[in-house]
Amino acid sequence: MFRPGRWIMHMDMDAFFASIEQLDNPQLRGRPVVVGGEHRGVVSTCSYEARRFGIRSAMPVAEARRRCPHAVYIRPRMQRYAEMSALVRETIARFSPRVEMASVDEAYLDATGLERLFGPVEAMGYSLKEAVKTATGGLTCSVGIAPVKFLAKIASEQRKPDGLFLLAPEAVPAFLAALPVTAVPGVGRHFAAELASMGVKNCADVSRYGADFWQRRYGKAGAVLWARAHGEDPREVVPWSPPKSESAEVTLDEDTLDRELLRTWLLRHAERVGASLRRQGLAGRTVTLKIKYADFRQITRQVTLDRRVCSTESIYETACAILDRLELAGRVRLVGVGVSGFEAGAPAQLSLMPEKAAAGEEEKKRDKLNMAVDALRSRYGTKAVVRGRLFEGGSGDHEAEAIQAERAEAHRIRERR
C-alpha cells in the first residue's frame, strides 16, 4: 500500500502571526490576541486563547469582536512575519534536501532514508521542533509524520499546539476508518453535505460504494475522495514550483463609488505586487483587476500585454486603465490587483499602456527607479520612501491582513485539490 520506508513530515507553525506578536510583546502572552483589520477586514490568525471564544482565521473582524470584545486586536506586520518565515525555512532546510514550503507558516519535508543522520523519524521530528523553537526565540510548531503527504498534514493537526503525531503505516487503516470525510482535503461544505445525505460521514463509509461509482458521479473529485479514503496519495514533496500569479487585495472600511480612492488602493497594491515580483525576479504579461461589490458579487477584468512588466508604475497604470473602462455596477467593497503570465528573462516594455509609458526607454527608467526604491526600503524600512499619493492618504499597511488571510485561504484550497 505504501512505499517501504517512506516518511513525509508536515511542519505547521502554531498561530504564527499571533505567536510572533506575543513573542515580541511579553505583555500579550496568555491573552486573546487577534491579528486582523480594525473594521471590515478578516482575521489573519489568532492566539489559542482567542480560539476558545470561537474565533478562527478568515472570520470577519466584526464577528470576532462580537465574540471576544476584550481581545487585543493588532494590525499585521507583514515584514516581520516574512522575516520569521524565512528564518523557519532556513532552519528546517538543514533537516532534509527536499523541503516544500506550503505557505509562510507550514512546510513538507521528505524524511525518507534520513535515519542515519537524525535517528528514528520521530526523533527527527522532535529535533526539528526544538531547532525551530531555538532559531525563532521561542515559537512552537506542530509536526505530523505519515507515509503520504495528505496524512502528514492531517497528523500535524492532531496534537496542536506544540505537538508531534506519528501515523505508522500499520495504523493507517484504523485511523482512516474513524476519520470524518470533512477532514479529507477537497471535501468542502457542500460536498460534505451531499455525502452526509448518502450516509457517508467517515472515510470507512466511502467503501460502501466502489471506485467506479465515485468516478462516475463526481469525476475527479470522486476519484480523489476514494483514493484518500484508502490512504492513497502519490504526490511527492516538491522543493520549488514556479508561482502562477502574484496579487494583493483589500476589503475597504466602507463601500465606495469613489474612483480616486480605488486608484489610490490600486497604487498600494501595485507597489506590493511589483516589489514581490522584483524580489523573485519575475515579470508578467497579464494584469488583472478584481472588484467585489457590496452585495458580494465579484468580477475580474484583465489585460494581456505584448511584453512582461514588473514595475509599480506599469502595473498601476494598466490596472487604472482597466478601471477607467469599467462601469461600476454598485458600491465597491473589495479591490485587488494581480499579475500573471510569467516568463523567463528580464521584463520588457508594454504596448497597451498610456502613451507616456509606451517607449522601451521609459520602461527601463522605471525598472531602475524601482530597484533603487527597493534597495532603500530593504535597508531603511518600508516607510523610507513613500510615494506622494500614498503619503497623503496614509500607508495603508493596516489592510495587509486581508490580503494575507485570503492568500492563505486560497493556498489551502489549492492544497486540498
pLDDT over 70 (residue 293)? yes
pLDDT over 50 (residue 415)? no
CA distance 333 to 356: 31
pLDDT of residue 2: 73
The 3-state DSSP class for residue 348 equals coil
pLDDT of residue 373: 65
Band (pLDDT 50/70/90 cuts) for residue 188 is confident
Instruction: Tell me the β-bridge partners of 339.
Output: 246, 287
pLDDT over 70 (residue 403)? no
pLDDT of residue 362: 64
pLDDT over 80 (residue 358)? no
CA distance 210 to 65: 47
CA distance 130 to 136: 10
The residues of the chain that CATH labels 3.30.1490.100 are 245-385
Instruction: Tell me the β-bridge partners of 110.
Output: 8
**φ and ψ of 100, to 5 deg:** -120, 110
DSSP-derived pairing of the beta strands 43-46 and 72-74: unpaired
pLDDT of residue 380: 57
Cα Dmax for the chain? 67
| Closest C-alpha among 365, 315, 314 to residue 339 | 315
Q: Grid cell 489585460 — which residue?
A: 303
pLDDT over 70 (residue 342)? yes
Q: Are 263 and 320 spatial neighbours (Cβ–Cβ below 8 Å)?
A: yes
The residues of the chain that CATH labels 3.30.70.270 are 1-168
**Could you read off the pLDDT of 65-121 as tens digits, one per residue?**
999 999 999 988 888 998 999 999 999 999 999 999 998 899 999 999 999 999 999
Tell which phi-psi region holds residue 173, choosing left (phi > 0), alpha (psi between -120 and 50) or beta.
Answer: alpha
Q: Are 159 and 165 spatial neighbours (Cβ–Cβ below 8 Å)?
A: yes
Q: Grid cell 455596477 — which residue?
A: 329
Regarding the domain with residue range 178-229, which homologous superfamily does it belong to in the CATH classification?
A: 5' to 3' exonuclease, C-terminal subdomain (1.10.150.20)
pLDDT of residue 310: 87
pLDDT over 50 (residue 192)? yes
| More confident site: 137 or 372 | 137
Compute CA 104 distance to the chain's CA centroid, rounded to the nearest angstrom. Answer: 7
pLDDT over 80 (residue 45)? yes
Span 234-249, mean pLDDT?
87
CA distance 244 to 338: 10
DSSP class of residue 360?
H
| More confident site: 296 or 155 | 155
Q: Are 264 and 306 spatial neighbours (Cβ–Cβ below 8 Å)?
A: no
Band (pLDDT 50/70/90 cuts) for residue 240 is confident
Q: Name the strand (E) or helix (H) holding 389.
A: helix 388-393
Cell numbers for 306: 505584448
Question: What's the whole-number average pLDDT of the chain?
Answer: 85
Regarding the domain with residue range 1-168, which homologous superfamily does it belong to in the CATH classification?
A: Reverse transcriptase/Diguanylate cyclase domain (3.30.70.270)
pLDDT over 60 (residue 410)? no
Is it true that the peptide bond before 161 is cis, omega within 30 degrees of 0?
Answer: yes
Which has the minimum average pLDDT: 12-21, 137-146, 220-229? 220-229
Cell numbers for 215: 468516478
**φ and ψ of 152, to 5 deg:** -65, -40
CA distance 308 to 344: 10
Rounded to whole angstroms, what are the CA distances from 232 to 98, 145, 161? 21, 15, 27
Which residue is catalytic, options 21, 49, 106, 406? 106
106 is a catalytic site residue: yes
C-alpha torsion 49→51→54→59, nearest 10: 130
What lies within 8 Å, CB to CB, of 312 at 6+ separation is: 267, 270, 271, 274, 275, 366, 370
Band (pLDDT 50/70/90 cuts) for residue 396 is very low
Which has the minimum average pLDDT: 11-20, 99-108, 275-284, 398-407? 398-407
Q: Grid cell 530597484 — which residue?
A: 371
DSSP class of residue 33?
E
Span 292-316, mean pLDDT?
91
CATH 3.30.1490.100 fits domain 245-385: yes
pLDDT over 50 (residue 140)? yes
Span 220-237, mean pLDDT?
93
